[in-house]
Amino acid sequence: MQFDRSTYRISDAGTGIRNWLLIAGVGLIASAAGAFVDPKQFFFSYLTAFAFWCTLALGGLIFVILHHLFGSTWSVVIRRMSETTMRTMPLFAVLVIPILIGIPWLYHWADPSYVAGDYALPKKAGYLNVPFFVIRTVFYFAVWVTLSILLYRASLKQDESYTRENAKYMRTLSAPAAILYAVTITLASFDWLMSLDAHWFSTIYGLWFFSGAVTAFFAYTTTNVVFLFRHNILKEDLTPEHFHDIGKLLFAFMIFWAYMALSQFLLIWYANFPKETVFYLARWSGSWRALTLSIPIIGFAVPFVILIMRITKRNLNLLAGMAWLLLGMHYVDLYWNIMPNLHTETVVVSWMDVATMLFIGALFRWYYLRLFTQHAVVPVNDPKLGASFSFVNQ
Amino acid sequence: MEATERTTYGILAQFDGPDKLIEAAAKMRDKGFKQWDVHSPYPIHGMDGAMGEERSRLGLMVAAMALLGGLGILYFTYWTSAVDYRFIISGKPYFSYIAYIPIFFAVCVLLSAFTAVFGMLGLVNSKFHHPVFYSDNFAKVTDDGFFVSVLAEDPSFDKVQTKTFLEEIGGTNVEYLEGDD
């Protein structure tokens, strides 16, 4: 990859990006084979992988929205990276189709005979039915894809020439976008993940999903900085001051995520209602218990102690180590939420978990890199770009 | 009334804007002054480095006190509900540590806040009066004045040489801080 620092463009993207398509192809073949061997396992694995990668795009979307709303300076250098992450949304609008096909295997509320014999589900059928579920999912993606395309297009327009109207447009769009985002991501988490067990409910579930998404996004951004440095891109421009701020947000959102997860658990534990405790009891049996314990310890306590130190946030290698750990734990967290609905007794790791992760992950990475290498790697005409380069933490 | 000998407590010099103040601070630092300070209407980015300030120990103090407070309250909740006055609440074990997490968190925050405020007051060597208030010109510090003050307690303070030095590095309105209290 060749980087031209005078225009902040990648002059030669190289051929390496295409290899991701190859990996995605292998993942696709393996996943397709899995869909024939054991469709139920396939759809659960696919849902986990889909949720993992889609949350990165969702995290990117809210970060761009917040960046415009707050008019922050330091984050201008990572704005294009975030926008590219956000702009992968159309990919997920396509990748969600297998989940819609898999509704009969994934969601027990889609089975009329099961619902008819149940005490609660007939009353929920007005919301939890297949046509409405499909309409909602289409609506979420209509909102997310539209927002990401509009914001990305306006940003590219700024690369050609800066106008106040355009900058104001991005900010004005971001305000209603934030509200739409909050509603859609909450309902999406209810639909896709919480309704896997349609009896159980938790009103904080949307915030848990959102906070995990943003944590994963900052972790992904950190690994992207490492990637850029390996290719000598922005090496003179991104400084420990920027790592420090990415690290602070990673740290903060990790705490926010833990806070949400604990809030959900604490109230259910305290009230001790069987209809609510089933969620945690199911995750306390067999080897699920070890996974349950690993989430607060490896996903929160260990990175908390390490990330609270200033030196971790200012050292890219240490920060990247934490980022990879938190990305891994984000997957474990989603897996822990989804899979006990399939493997109720004990953890069963399937090769389809790997295959679907490879497929969606490689496709996502290919899409991201292709988009990223086509345009300037920073918003070159943003008036705050210079201040962002020379930004210093106090 | 008989005129008394006025004591010189220090020297005050005015500078022309934040950039000049940063330059002056760097020169003061390099000259090796210890008992000196800069005064400006607003915080200036980069001033800590120019003054040669070391990283504050406050963060470590806050972390230590937060941990101490957290462990303390954990022990206290354990002692009250599992040792001193055992009471079964909604069928849960005596020592239900999950219920104490909010208390643990709250006490960590409380002790952090106290340590941050009072530790800061202790570390900054706060005082009720400062010789710069003898200067009438110093009132500008709340408007558009940028100042460097050197106290007479400084080991390398010399009434004539320090004044000359402050003028050399671009200080204007250089004046002695004198009072007869």
A264 Cβ contact partners less than 8 Å away, ≥ 6 residues apart: A202, A204, A205, A208
A387 close to B (CB below 8 A): no
Q: How far apart are CA A136 and CA A130, in angstroms?
A: 10
Q: How far apart are CA B48 and CA A394, in angstroms?
A: 8
Whether the per-residue pLDDT at A269 is higher than 60: the answer is yes
A262 close to B (CB below 8 A): yes
Query: Are A146 and A90 contacting, i.e. CB atoms less than 8 angstroms apart?
Result: no
This prediction has a pTM of 0.90
Q: Compare CB distances from A262 to B46, B63, B101 and report the shortest one's residue.
A: B101
B155 close to A (CB below 8 A): no
B54 close to A (CB below 8 A): no
Query: Are B170 and B17 contacting, i.e. CB atoms less than 8 angstroms apart?
Result: no
Collect all residues of chain A within an 8 Å Cβ-Cβ radius of residue B44. none
Collect all residues of chain A within an 8 Å Cβ-Cβ radius of residue B64. none
What is the H or E stretch that residue B7 is in? strand B7-15
Flag if B101 and A270 touch (Cβ within 8 Å).
Answer: no
Distance from CA of A229 to the nearest CA of B (A): 27
Collect all residues of chain B within an 8 Å Cβ-Cβ radius of residue A308. 63
Phi/psi for A258 (5° steps) reads -65, -35
Q: Which residue has the tokens 């022309």?
A: B16
What domains, with CATH codes, occur in chain B? 6-51+125-180 (3.30.70), 58-123 (no CATH)
Residue B148, beta-bridge partner list: B13, B38
pLDDT tens readout for residues B97-129: 899 999 999 999 999 999 999 999 988 877 788
Q: A346 by DSSP, 3-state: which? A: coil
Instruction: Copy the structure tokens of residue A46.
Output: 């696919």
The pLDDT score that the predictor gives to residue A360 is: 97
Q: How far apart are CA A95 and CA A72, in angstroms?
A: 33
A293 close to B (CB below 8 A): no
ipTM of model: 0.80
Q: Compare CB distances from B45 to A270, A310, A392 and report the shortest one's residue.
A: A392
Q: Compare CB distances from A394 to B45, B99, B102 and report the shortest one's residue.
A: B45
B48 close to A (CB below 8 A): yes
Give me the total of CB pairs closer than 8 Å, taking one residue from chain A and one from chain B: 19
Highest mean pLDDT (candidates A7-21, A256-270, B1-15, B24-38): A256-270
Q: How far apart are CA B77 and CA B80, in angstroms?
A: 5
Collect all residues of chain B within an 8 Å Cβ-Cβ radius of residue A269. 98
- H helices of chain A, in order, are 16-37, 39-70, 79-86, 89-95, 97-101, 103-106, 112-116, 121-124, 130-160, 164-192, 205-230, 240-271, 274-282, 288-296, 302-307, 310-314, 316-338, 351-374, 385-389
The pLDDT score that the predictor gives to residue B1 is: 46
Percent of chain A with pLDDT over 90: 87
Residue B3: band (very low, low, confident or very high) from pLDDT cuts 50, 70, 90: low
Flag if B59 and A310 touch (Cβ within 8 Å).
Answer: yes
Q: Region A110-115: what's the mean pLDDT?
A: 93
A394 close to B (CB below 8 A): yes
Instruction: Copy the structure tokens of residue A116.
Output: 């008819």
Flag if A270 and B59 touch (Cβ within 8 Å).
Answer: no
Flag if B91 and A270 touch (Cβ within 8 Å).
Answer: no
Flag if B90 and A272 touch (Cβ within 8 Å).
Answer: yes
Flag if B98 and A266 touch (Cβ within 8 Å).
Answer: yes
pLDDT tens readout for residues A116-152: 999 999 999 999 999 999 999 999 999 999 999 999 9
A269 close to B (CB below 8 A): yes
Q: How many degrees, rounded to 5, is the angle at CA A123 between CA A122 and CA A125?
A: 65
Collect all residues of chain B within an 8 Å Cβ-Cβ radius of residue A394. 43, 45, 48
B67 close to A (CB below 8 A): no
Task: Give just the sign of the alpha carbon dihedral A214, A215, A216, A222.
Answer: positive
Distance from CA of B45 to the nearest CA of A (A): 7
Q: Which of A73, A262, A388 to mutate to test the interface with B (most CBs of B within 10 A)?
A: A262
Q: Which of A109-113, A297-301, B44-48, B177-181 has the lowest mean pLDDT?
A: B177-181
Q: Which amino acid is at B151?
A: L
Q: Compare CB distances from A392 to B46, B101, B102 and report the shortest one's residue.
A: B46
| Mean pLDDT over the full length of chain A | 94
Q: How far apart are CA B59 and CA B62, in angstroms?
A: 5
Query: Are A208 and A254 contacting, i.e. CB atoms less than 8 angstroms apart?
Result: no
Percent of chain A with pLDDT over 70: 100
Q: How far apart are CA A384 and CA A388, in angstroms?
A: 6
Q: How many CB atoms lie under 10 A from the CB of residue A33?
A: 14
Distance from CA of B168 to the nearest CA of A (A): 30
Q: How many CA atoms lie within 13 A of B162 on its CB side?
A: 27
- Residue A233 per-residue DSSP state: S
Q: How far apart are CA B88 and CA B95, in angstroms?
A: 10
> With 0-12 CB in 10 A as exposed, 13-18 as middle and 19+ as buried, what is B126?
exposed
Question: Largest alpha-carbon pair distance within chain A?
Answer: 68
Q: How far apart are CA A228 and CA A247, in angstroms?
A: 17
Collect all residues of chain B within an 8 Å Cβ-Cβ radius of residue A265. 98
B99 close to A (CB below 8 A): yes
Q: Which of A95-99, A141-145, A280-284, B174-178 has the lowest mean pLDDT?
A: B174-178
A240 Cβ contact partners less than 8 Å away, ≥ 6 residues apart: A314, A315, A316
Residue B37, beta-bridge partner list: B149
Q: Compare CB distances from B99 to A270, A310, A392 and report the shortest one's residue.
A: A270
Chain B: residue whose CA lies nearest to A310: B59
The pLDDT score that the predictor gives to residue B180 is: 67
| Mean pLDDT over the full length of chain B | 89
Distance from CA of B9 to the nearest CA of A (A): 32
